[in-house]
Amino acid sequence: MSRRRLLGSAGAAGATGLVLGAAGGATGYAATRTDEPTALTAVGSTQVMFHGKHQPGITTPLQARGHLVAFDLAPGAGRKEAAALMRRWSAVARRLMAGEAADSGAADGAAHDTGIALDAGPSSLTVTFGFGHTFFERTGLVGHRPPGLDPLPPFSSDHIDAKRSNGDLWVQIGADDALVAFHALRAVQKEAAPAAGVRWQMNGFNRSPGATAQPMTARNLMGQIDGTGNPKPAESDFDRRVFVPAGTDTKYDWLAGGSYAVVRRIRMLLDDWEKLPVERQEQVIGRRKKDGAPLSGGAETTAMDLDKAGPDGKLLIPDNAHARISSPEKNSGAAMLRRPFSYHDGISADGTPDAGLLFICWQADPLRGFVPVQRKLDRGDALSPFIRHEASGLFAVPGGAADGEYVGQRLLES
């Protein structure tokens, strides 16, 4: 039974009436309300497939809402309990991504569904699962822990809160509707008990689909276009950079087609940033704020000319500009697929916004992707005085589940 059918035609008609009433300045339902069901919009009807070579939520276009949540296995829980949990999580993720109720297989239909997303379509929902470094110790699978999951090195600019970092298990949820995303979050949290409990949770957002006249690269809370230099799926080396290939060591076969996710909660010091004139902000980033074009000229997608100088002989893209230091050209080709959410958690005790970026990047090997780039940024990025890394995590994300499988089955049943 779908979430949409659960509410029925009356609810759909009521929603239509609310929209018409608002348009007419009324406070209640419009007089033109009908009892005919309305079709889902394009945003609500978009469905991402759960089964596949790769897990969803990696190459899926950015969604409007997101939740990141890490779990620790409960005391006494091990491989058996973890396998049962991944089986439950995979089943509920598959149903919700198809627009079905979270518990549509129950004897009384969807009686146990929370009802949060009644009448909503799939709304591009994705649920992605990963394993942390400690997961392998807790499940007796240390021999299957890949070298790429070794802990990230410390960086001099880190202000890491250990309580909001790492974890045995990690779940990324994204959707183009806030209630659909929250519905999935609650379902995942409910299914975790009694095998695991929440270690930390973070909530994020992006621009809603259709909010701009044409699709465009997202902006972050600094107002900068963010993600221009991402590797593109159409590029010949995309899979090599983002996904783990099948290797010669059978101990790590479970990770083939998977990826590594580095997760960083990056606080933006917006009060300080917004004091800078736009021209200075552009020098810090190395790109124009209006359209994301490199300061060396052209449009957003024009390749940066890192050697181009102005009439005064100075480089147009400064030596310490963020775009220069993080570019593949300056990092021996190192690249990662950045897929973030912005966040805003209110006002801190000092009166400044607790806001910034839930940075998520995907790569086949973090020691060749995130780590060398962050080391270089750590040594002299002009953006560093305006940001603070406050939480961190690294997770091995298995390949996608085939039809009839659950995520991580090749590891947990090896």
Catalytic residues: 226
Tokens (6 digits) for 260: 């590594």
Give the Cα-Cα-Cα angle 61, 264, 64 (nearest 5 degrees): 30
Q: Which of 47, 48, 46 is nearest to 59 (CA)?
A: 48
Question: What is the distance between the alpha carbons of residues 38 and 36, in angstroms, rounded to a whole number?
Answer: 6
Distance CA 396, CA 84 (A): 19
Question: In Å, how far are 135, 259, 260 from 366, measured between CA atoms?
Answer: 18, 9, 7
- Residue 391 DSSP SS3: strand
Three-state DSSP at 179 gives helix
Please enumerate in sequence order all residues whose Cβ is within 8 A of that of 193, keeping only pairs 6 or more positions apart, or say none: none
- Please give the Cα distance from 184 to 63 (Å, whole number): 14
CA distance 328 to 228: 13
Structure tokens that stand for 60 in this block: 């899926």
Nearest CA to 122 out of 103, 95, 148, 145 is that of: 95
**For residue 128, what is the enclosing H or E element?**
strand 126-131
Please provide residue 237's backbone torsions phi and psi, each rounded to the nearest 5 degrees.
-100, 15
Beta-carbon contacts of residue 247 (< 8 Å; ≥ 6 apart): 253, 256
DSSP 8-state secondary structure symbol assigned to residue 106: B
